Amino acid sequence: MATIYDFKALTSKGKELDFSQFEGKVLLIVNTASKCGFTPQFAGLEALNQKYKDRGLVVIGFPSGDFANQELADGSKAEEFCQLNYGVTFQIMKKVHVNGDEADPIFKYLKSQTKGLLGSKIKWNFTKFLISKNGSVIKRYAPLTTPAKLEKDIEEML
């Protein structure tokens, strides 16, 4: 059976990122958008990144325009926006689809492992997936759940 470590994806700069390098780390994967009411959550995600990166947390943002086209043209533009406006230092990936036939394989996998209010479909930007060190436990959080509310679960997984 596949785990998150079996996947590869492209960074905002077009470089392949092999998720096997994150084995033994806690992952927080988020579908992001630069022009959304939840966009200020970038500050909270960066705060988690700064607080826990030395203990093994890896935060990864996947820009997506699937919801009201609230993302910039591509991942590099989204990354630039995040760095300028929120001081983001965590990895921003290439812009992807998170729902439908063209959904990125990572999101197909994450959705198959967790069910949200709409079944496996992602409801909106800033849906968050927290993955344990061994890749087996995946928790899903709604867009309304602020990054700060994930701290208890992150602490337990670290």
Q: Which of these is catalytic: 10, 17, 36, 43?
A: 36
CB 48 within 8 A of CB 154: yes
For 102, residues 6+ apart whose C-beta sits below 8 A from its C-beta are: none
Is residue 36 annotated as part of the catalytic site, yes or no?
yes
Give the residue numbers annotated as catalytic, written as ranges: 36
